[in-house]
Amino acid sequence: MNISKQDKLKKEYQKIFAAFIERESNKTSLITVTRCELSNDYKNLIVYFSVFPENQEDKVLAFLSRNKKEARDYLKKNISTRILPFVNFAIDEGEKNRQQIDQILIKDKLR
């Protein structure tokens, strides 16, 4: 299996942003970086995350949006790449859907 440079970078970005969030958050909710999407020109990065409890999602998104500059500075200090991407954060709706499907399957097994 040949893993591309872009895939390696996305995994590395995921680790770096997980560390950033762990360091900067107030720890009132569990925030998990689920994946990163990098544009083909390497200039834009979307960091997807999930939050538990779900009612804290808006607060976490607002917190991360306010701290975009700090997140990019943290990225700059922790990785050496030719192009430093601009960072955006988004709630991972795919992960939420997967969790709902899991709950439905569990309920169905109990019947």
Peptide bond into 85 cis (omega under 30): no
pTM of the model as a whole: 0.84
CB 95, CB 53: distance < 8 Å: no
Q: What are the boundaries of each domain within the chain?
A: 5-110
| Two tokens, residue 27 | 């720890």
pLDDT in tens, the chain (111 residues): 467 889 999 999 999 999 999 999 988 899 999 999 999 999 999 999 999 888 999 999 999 999 999 999 999 999 999 999 999 999 998 877 777 888 888 877 776
Vertex 48: Cα angle to 58 and 107 (nearest 5): 80
Q: What is the pLDDT of residue 88?
A: 96
Residue 95 CA, chain-centre distance (Å), reads 11
Q: What is the pLDDT of residue 33?
A: 96
Q: What is the pLDDT of residue 54?
A: 86
Residue 43 CA, chain-centre distance (Å), reads 17
**Homologous superfamily (CATH) for 5-110:** K homology (KH) domain (3.30.300.20)
